[in-house]
A and B are shown apart, each in its own frame.
Chain A
Amino acid sequence: MVWLAESASSVVPVFDPASPFAEAIYSLFLKVLAISAVIFLIVVGLITVAVFRFRDKTGGNGDVPRQDFGSHKQEIFWLLGPVIIVVWLAAISAKLVFTVNAVPQAHPDAGEEPDEEIEVRGHQWFWEVKYPGHGIVSANEVHLPVGKKIRIKLTSEDVIHSFWVPQLSRKMDAIPGRDNYFWIGASKPGVYQGRCTEFCGMVHAWMNFKVYAYEEAEWEAWVEAHSKKPELPTEGVALAGQKFFETATCIDCHKIAGVGGTTMIAPDLTHFASRGEIGGGVFVNNRENLEKWLIDPQKWKPGCKMPNFKFDPEELQQVVAFLETLK
């Protein structure tokens, strides 16, 4: 996947939409920006003219200006413009709410079927991502095919989080005890930055994620690869690492398909080696960073649930070797 490396995220994602949903919001935003700019220039223009034209240069000794108490007619005349603008704004935003990306239409009861359904669950502080149609579970990454209408079912395990990929869709809160549904999609392949935007506790800052959008063939390859259990090591350091993973406490929090684990306290590590990042955006996923992370997670993501296990160097090498086999 060469393009993964070279497609950097957009600098101004709100102005660089890559889905019909984000596109629609962007075009509404442009209209509102334009009308706002016009209003701003009119008001500032009037104030500027008033200050220069009516400035008192006499030091308070000039004639008393005409005492104008205002006129109801003028007030109402000047109110007309804003009324028209407000009605127009209400109409175009309501139209967008109803047609393009409304919640009820994404709701299962609304009758409109998605091409794919993805379940996302916010945790302090990572995103659990499930593909119920394919039996895949992952973390901090959403993979989807280009040009399809995808429904996300969003909820939270603990506190309120908010799921935002500015280039691809609206922002939606992940709320415990409640399922929210919304559409997402991508018009072109690429990697899109996502973030948690609702303050959710200590390391809210490190709850980033990425969305990978693939052409059909690549998408199918990705599904094929990830719906299988990873090939587990059979010998050497990596095997020792697997034993360590199972016998030390790693498996109490992390699941790996084919190895074990039951809880969802921490990210699922099934295909960990294929992930782009570690720790919700703390590091790019490579051997060196993985070691840094394992030596002291609290240093990089203070307050996260993974303690500093004080691995001895040999254990560290074993665990790293094992995790790197989880392609």
Chain B
Amino acid sequence: MNGGTTERIESGKGVDAPREEAAVPPTSKILSWVTTVDHKRVGIMYILTAVFFLVVGGCEALLIRIQLAVPENDFISPAFFNQMFTMHGTTMVFLVGMPVLIGFANYFVPLQIGAKDVAFPRLNAMSFWMLPFGGFLLYYSFMTSTAPDAGWFSYAPLSTKPYSSLGGIDYWILALLVLGIGSVAGAINMAVTVLSMRAPGMSLQRVPLFTWMAFITALLTILALPALNSALAMLFIDRWLDAAFFEPARGGSALLWQHFFWIFGHPEVYILVLPAFGMISEVIPVFSRKPIYGYSFVAGSTVVIFLLSYGVWAHHMFAVGLGMFADIFFAIGTLLIALPTGVKVFNWTATMWGGSIRLTVSMLFAIAFLVEFVLGGLTGVMFAAVPIDWQLTDTYFVVGHFHYVLIGGTVFGLFAATFYWFPKMTGRMLSEGLGKLQFVLWVLGFNLTFMLHHFLGLMGMPRRVYTYSDEPGWALLNGLSSLGAVFMALGTLVFVWNLWVSKRKGKVAGDNPWGGFTLEWATTSPPPVENFTSLPEIKSRRPVWDRDHPDLADWKSAKTPEDGGWRPFKGKVAMGAFVASEAVFFILLLVSFVVFNSGDRGGLDGPSPLDVPRTALFTVILLGSSVTFWFAERALRGGDQKGFLRWLLITVVMGLVFLGGQAIEYAGLIRSGVTINSNLFASTFFTVTGFHGFHVFAGIVALMILYFLGRKGELKQKRANIFSAAGIYWHFVDVVWIFVFAIIYLRVLQ
């Protein structure tokens, strides 16, 4: 134990997380939910919103399956069909998959690490409210002209104005940006919670695997979403400001969108599946009455997946003709992912081996997950063998493949988790009888629907066709596939009924109905607002097991690294994570500048219209503001409040001078006829510098707030950490400008 103890105790007590509920008695039940910042209630709202959209997205899927049940059907028009599969994909990924997993993490991560709440409860509530607003924005498109209809990955140029002139795509872009803000904010919160809020004794090597997977998922979200945001920003600029990033006729690239989208899109797959891995890693050990086999391999392999997931995006693009070296590079990366994934399957199986297996509904779903996920994984390996991908990509085979991963894997994992954790969340057990009925309906329906998709793919059926001519076998397989969807729909009704009935009349659960191992089972069901009245001693990965089996306690036989007790300052970790996210955004924008302005792409014909020496002067001023910021910080830490305020004011003024310089530059360019739609040089220039300028502006606003807080005496020496956190952002903005200046003005890398 060392000097970090004070901070640890502080975060353990959660003094900086005031609770509205405690302070103001809620006037109504609904209002108390709307205004809540309790991570458990926020978690439940995430889950219920996701269930609502699950029903919506499920209905869209049913319409798709009805249309495809028979050949040359005219049940729905092609225009509507295209909207349906676009909305189905977008809904399931952004409004169901991500929120439901974030919801479970919200509820259970603080409980599993013995914390009172997440790191930033108010930010958590804001992240949640982005979800219904984003969802509303997306679905509002139906009221305008058309819903988005270019597929969930909206390939350019189909998604650009000439080919999608109506507003659906715009609503899609805006909704995804709004949802992205919520996801990244939520992910930062989750990462900080895991790093800074763990109870004494809970070292990082002792966190339950669900918490670990939620942590890695948060890192993936923080670093992947900005890639999507940069692509969305460019598409929006193309659509509304007439730039030509994705318009080949004006020098743009039809492929750049695919690269940017899949740099986001492939990590996104793991964002959707890692939390389910975590759930399975909780359920299988508990219902086998054994610890997870090879904890460090399961946890470590997740880190490997995290790292590899950023290097495999182009396996979605084997058919675009990238060239054989690129194809093989991405094929090898993709095949390598099979290894850490295989490690997990081995460990889950080995956990069951030699155990004492209880076939509860939760465990049944976990076992079905294992089998189906292995199938989805093996077809994934087939796609990694490039020539097989050349045959099967964009057919129903790939539709079968990713539904095996995302339904057979993620959704089955979610069902396992729901049956496992519902008692903790409500205090009542779900009905096992209804659960088994649901299980049978889902296993039958799911495998019927999606197994047949593989055969349809082999038979040549492309994905996303609104109808098909009566080829031999197609009608039969499509009809049976649609029938399977009916079973899944019935199973879902049984599930919703089970939730409804059990919440009211289910068997009372007690604190630990399953004999669970981890801290969430050490409190009441449902837990009190502050989560725990007292925590058991944390000396291993299974504190509740240790408490209940003192003779067989884990720490006696399996040593885990002791907790040093140090927890990093929340604000700094959060700002570091935010800056990492923003860095990815700027890196991709700068990549687009380099792509469009080097070689024969020739974003610019003629000399650069930029005044490099003048901008160099403003660059010096901006970089100087980092130095003055540092002086301000030193003064604050030294207790020199006046000096602090003086240096901070100088920093703000220098930032404003830089923005003024940028305004003069813009005005000059626009006067000489260089605007964002002139050519690709101008498009990329205004996009990169414009977003940077916006970040400087946001930084100035933040610094001015801190300045006035300092003047009022609310920001003083002992809260200097907050100022340092703001400093991380300000220095980051300056560092970005160094790269912008080098690449755009000095033409490095071109």
Binding site for B on A (CB under 8 A): 8-9, 11-15, 22, 24-25, 28-29, 32-33, 36, 39-40, 43-44, 46-47, 50-51, 54-56, 58, 60, 62-72, 74-75, 78-79, 82-83, 86, 89-90, 92-94, 96-98, 100-104, 124, 158-160, 162, 164, 166, 170-173, 175-178, 180-182, 193, 195-205, 208, 281, 302-303
Residue from B252, B328, B370, B457 with most neighbouring chain A CB atoms (10 Å): B328
Partner of A13 from the list B374, B394, B460 (CB cut-off 8 Å) is B460
Asked if B347 lies at the interface with its beta carbon under 8 angstroms from chain A, I say yes
Asked if B132 lies at the interface with its beta carbon under 8 angstroms from chain A, I say no
**B residues near A36, Cβ cutoff 8 Å:** 378-379, 381-382
Asked if B501 lies at the interface with its beta carbon under 8 angstroms from chain A, I say no
**A residues near B350, Cβ cutoff 8 Å:** 68, 70, 74
Asked if B41 lies at the interface with its beta carbon under 8 angstroms from chain A, I say no
Q: A70-B347, A166-B391 are in contact. Are A47 and B254 (CB under 8 A)?
A: no
Residue from B395, B462, B471 with most neighbouring chain A CB atoms (10 Å): B462
**B residues near A171, Cβ cutoff 8 Å:** 319, 390-391, 393-394
Q: Closest CB-CB distance, B64 to chain A, in whole Å? A: 13
Asked if B358 lies at the interface with its beta carbon under 8 angstroms from chain A, I say yes
Residue from B253, B294, B391, B463 with most neighbouring chain A CB atoms (10 Å): B391
**A residues near B155, Cβ cutoff 8 Å:** 159-160, 198-199
Decide: B323 and A14 in contact? CB cutoff 8 A. no
Cα–Cα distance between A94 and B342 once the two chains are bound (Å)? 22
**A residues near B382, Cβ cutoff 8 Å:** 29, 32-33, 36
Decide: A175 and B78 in contact? CB cutoff 8 A. no
Cα–Cα distance between A225 and B462 once the two chains are bound (Å)? 34
Cα–Cα distance between A198 and B252 once the two chains are bound (Å)? 20
Within 8 A of A (CB), among B249-300: 249, 252-255, 288-295, 297
Partner of A65 from the list B151, B324, B354 (CB cut-off 8 Å) is B354
Decide: B82 and A65 in contact? CB cutoff 8 A. no
Q: A65-B355, A83-B339 are in contact. Are A93 and B390 (CB under 8 A)?
A: no
Flag the segment in B549-557, B638-646, B665-673 that touches A. Answer: B549-557
Asked if B386 lies at the interface with its beta carbon under 8 angstroms from chain A, I say yes
Asked if B320 lies at the interface with its beta carbon under 8 angstroms from chain A, I say yes
Q: Closest CB-CB distance, B278 to chain A, in whole Å? A: 17
**B residues near A11, Cβ cutoff 8 Å:** 459, 471-473
Q: A32-B385, A86-B339, A160-B254 are in contact. Are A14 and B327 (CB under 8 A)?
A: no
Decide: B77 and A302 in contact? CB cutoff 8 A. yes
Asked if B79 lies at the interface with its beta carbon under 8 angstroms from chain A, I say yes
Decide: B394 and A162 in contact? CB cutoff 8 A. yes
Within 8 A of A (CB), among B346-367: 346-347, 349-350, 352-359, 367
Decide: A62 and B356 in contact? CB cutoff 8 A. yes
**A residues near B390, Cβ cutoff 8 Å:** 25, 101, 170-172
Cα–Cα distance between A235 and B601 once the two chains are bound (Å)? 55
**A residues near B358, Cβ cutoff 8 Å:** 56, 60
Q: Closest CB-CB distance, A110 to chain B, in whole Å? A: 11
Q: Closest CB-CB distance, B101 to chain A, in whole Å? A: 24
Closest to B459 in A: A12
Decide: A68 and B354 in contact? CB cutoff 8 A. yes
Partner of A103 from the list B323, B346, B463, B464 (CB cut-off 8 Å) is B323
Cα–Cα distance between A71 and B382 once the two chains are bound (Å)? 30
With A25-B391, A68-B290, A100-B387 already in contact, 5 other A-B pairs whose C-beta atoms are closer than 8 Å: A65-B356, A83-B339, A94-B386, A170-B391, A202-B82
Contact with A along B161-202 (1 / 0, CB 8 A): 011000000000000000000000000000000000000000
Decide: B392 and A14 in contact? CB cutoff 8 A. yes
Decide: A25 and B388 in contact? CB cutoff 8 A. yes
Decide: A47 and B352 in contact? CB cutoff 8 A. yes
Decide: B254 and A176 in contact? CB cutoff 8 A. yes
Decide: B157 and A159 in contact? CB cutoff 8 A. yes
* A-B CB contact pairs (8 Å), 23 listed: A11-B471, A13-B458, A14-B457, A28-B385, A28-B388, A29-B391, A44-B371, A71-B294, A72-B294, A89-B335, A97-B331, A104-B324, A158-B157, A159-B163, A160-B157, A172-B390, A175-B320, A180-B320, A199-B463, A201-B82, A205-B78, A205-B468, A302-B77
Asked if B336 lies at the interface with its beta carbon under 8 angstroms from chain A, I say yes
Partner of A79 from the list B339, B388, B395 (CB cut-off 8 Å) is B339
**A residues near B388, Cβ cutoff 8 Å:** 25, 28-29, 32, 93
Cα–Cα distance between A75 and B294 once the two chains are bound (Å)? 8
Chain A contact residues: helix, strand, loop or mixed: mixed
**B residues near A70, Cβ cutoff 8 Å:** 292-295, 297, 347, 350
Decide: B374 and A40 in contact? CB cutoff 8 A. yes
**A residues near B459, Cβ cutoff 8 Å:** 11-14
Partner of A56 from the list B323, B356, B384, B463 (CB cut-off 8 Å) is B356
**A residues near B157, Cβ cutoff 8 Å:** 158-160, 176
Q: A14-B460, A177-B249 are in contact. Are A303 and B158 (CB under 8 A)?
A: no
Cα–Cα distance between A195 and B249 once the two chains are bound (Å)? 26
Decide: A54 and B323 in contact? CB cutoff 8 A. no
Partner of A64 from the list B79, B254, B549 (CB cut-off 8 Å) is B549
**B residues near A47, Cβ cutoff 8 Å:** 349, 352, 367, 370-371
Cα–Cα distance between A75 and B348 once the two chains are bound (Å)? 12
Decide: A97 and B324 in contact? CB cutoff 8 A. yes
Cα–Cα distance between A303 and B343 once the two chains are bound (Å)? 50
Closest 3 CB pairs of A and B: A177-B248, A70-B294, A205-B465
**A residues near B515, Cβ cutoff 8 Å:** 60
Q: Closest CB-CB distance, B151 to chain A, in whole Å? A: 5
**B residues near A98, Cβ cutoff 8 Å:** 324, 328
Partner of A198 from the list B162, B347, B394 (CB cut-off 8 Å) is B394
Within 8 A of A (CB), among B297-319: 297, 319
Decide: A65 and B254 in contact? CB cutoff 8 A. no
Partner of A89 from the list B381, B458, B464 (CB cut-off 8 Å) is B381
Cα–Cα distance between A249 and B169 once the two chains are bound (Å)? 33
Cα–Cα distance between A245 and B489 once the two chains are bound (Å)? 53
**A residues near B468, Cβ cutoff 8 Å:** 205
Cα–Cα distance between A208 and B471 once the two chains are bound (Å)? 13
Asked if B466 lies at the interface with its beta carbon under 8 angstroms from chain A, I say yes
Asked if B558 lies at the interface with its beta carbon under 8 angstroms from chain A, I say yes
Decide: B254 and A177 in contact? CB cutoff 8 A. yes
Partner of B357 from the list A54, A74, A124, A180 (CB cut-off 8 Å) is A54
Decide: B336 and A86 in contact? CB cutoff 8 A. yes
Closest to A82 in B: B342
Q: Closest CB-CB distance, B696 to chain A, in whole Å? A: 35
Decide: B460 and A66 in contact? CB cutoff 8 A. no
Closest to A124 in B: B163
Decide: A90 and B332 in contact? CB cutoff 8 A. yes
Within 8 A of A (CB), among B452-492: 455, 457-460, 462-469, 471-473
Q: Closest CB-CB distance, B454 to chain A, in whole Å? A: 11
Decide: A178 and B339 in contact? CB cutoff 8 A. no
Decide: B295 and A55 in contact? CB cutoff 8 A. no
Q: A54-B357, A60-B515 are in contact. Are A97 and B386 (CB under 8 A)?
A: yes
Residue from B254, B321, B343, B392 with most neighbouring chain A CB atoms (10 Å): B321
Q: A40-B378, A205-B468 are in contact. Are A69 and B387 (CB under 8 A)?
A: no
Closest to A96 in B: B387
**A residues near B347, Cβ cutoff 8 Å:** 70, 75
Cα–Cα distance between A64 and B548 once the two chains are bound (Å)? 12
Closest to B551 in A: A64
Asked if B375 lies at the interface with its beta carbon under 8 angstroms from chain A, I say yes
**A residues near B253, Cβ cutoff 8 Å:** 177
Cα–Cα distance between A73 and B150 once the two chains are bound (Å)? 50
Cα–Cα distance between A86 and B191 once the two chains are bound (Å)? 33
Cα–Cα distance between A11 and B472 once the two chains are bound (Å)? 6
Cα–Cα distance between A96 and B350 once the two chains are bound (Å)? 36
Decide: A195 and B386 in contact? CB cutoff 8 A. no
**B residues near A182, Cβ cutoff 8 Å:** 321
**A residues near B328, Cβ cutoff 8 Å:** 90, 93-94, 97-98
Cα–Cα distance between A51 and B395 once the two chains are bound (Å)? 36
Q: A68-B290, A202-B78 are in contact. Are A24 and B466 (CB under 8 A)?
A: no
Decide: A92 and B462 in contact? CB cutoff 8 A. no
**B residues near A62, Cβ cutoff 8 Å:** 356
